[in-house]
Chains A and B, each alone.
Chain A
Amino acid sequence: DAMVIQNPRYQVTQFGKPVTLSCSQTLNHNVMYWYQQKSSQAPKLLFHYYDKDFNNEADTPDNFQSRRPNTSFCFLDIRSPGLGDAAMYLCATSTETGAAQPQHFGDGTRLSIL
């Protein structure tokens, strides 16, 4: 089945130690998104790529960066994780950025900071 896959499901890192989360998709969608979601809160968009065009949300901390080496893969790099970065990180895809396009989500990576 075509899908969005995130690895790992659970990630533990130390305060200040860089961590990379990965996402792959077999849907061949143009757009890939990274969201941060904390408990009982709305997903917060961090970045999105339309193909190779990178779009950074204005309030995304500089600590967060992203790479999309090809259509199928996208990475979220957190350079120096703080305790406030503990959250669920969701990757999503859509065919286009147009209004009627639902986003397809991976299962998420839950990040814990020690």
Chain B
Amino acid sequence: GQNIDQPTEMTATEGAIVQINCTYQTSGFNGLFWYQQHAGEAPTFLSYNVLDGLEEKGRFSSFLSRSKGYSYLLLKELQMKDSASYLCAVTDSNYQLIWGAGTKLIIKP
């Protein structure tokens, strides 16, 4: 079966750095997305990785290792507004998007 694993919940402090991990087992791989979803709202696109390495976009960076079936989302200089769920999603060999259940990130002052 196809599976995306993320921690259910994480807590971090305002101003700090947090890394949210995602591991996947899918039938093929055609890219990995990270989305942010605030409570009661729709997911919004954060990043896309298809090659190994780090993609940096402002305070957010996303890393991919295809050989390990692993990605992480790194959030720097955390702000209270970063409190949200972060969803990892992988496109498989049939171009189907497989979603993780998301990691709820709680930011404390």
Residue pair A42, B33 in contact (C-beta under 8 Å):
no
Instruction: Give the contacting residue for B50; candidates A40, A92, A99; CB below 8 A.
Output: A99
Chain B contact residues (Cβ within 8 angstroms of A): what range? 20 to 34
How near does chain A come to B39, taking the closest CB pair, in angstroms?
Answer: 10
Q: Are A40 and B97 in contact (CB under 8 A)?
A: no
- Do the beta carbons of B33 and A102 come within 8 Å of each other? yes
Interface centre among A92, A102, A107, by most chain B C-beta atoms within 10 angstroms, is: A102
In-complex Cβ contact of A99 among B30, B40, B43, B44 (8 A): B30
Tell me if A's interface is mostly helix, strand, loop or mixed: loop
Do the beta carbons of A40 and B102 come within 8 Å of each other?
A: yes
A42–B4 CB distance below 8 A: yes
| Contact in complex: B97, A42 (CB < 8 Å) | no
Q: Is the CB of A42 within 8 A of B45?
A: no
Complex contacts, A88 vs chain B, CB 8 Å? 40
Contact across chains for B40 and A110 when beta carbons are under 8 A apart: yes
Q: Pick the residue among B31, B44, B95, B99 that contacts A43 (CB under 8 A).
A: B99
Distance (whole angstroms) from the CB of A1 to the closest CB of chain B: 14
Task: Give B residues with C-beta under 8 Å from A.
Answer: 4, 8, 30-31, 33, 40-45, 48, 50, 87, 91, 95-97, 99-102, 104
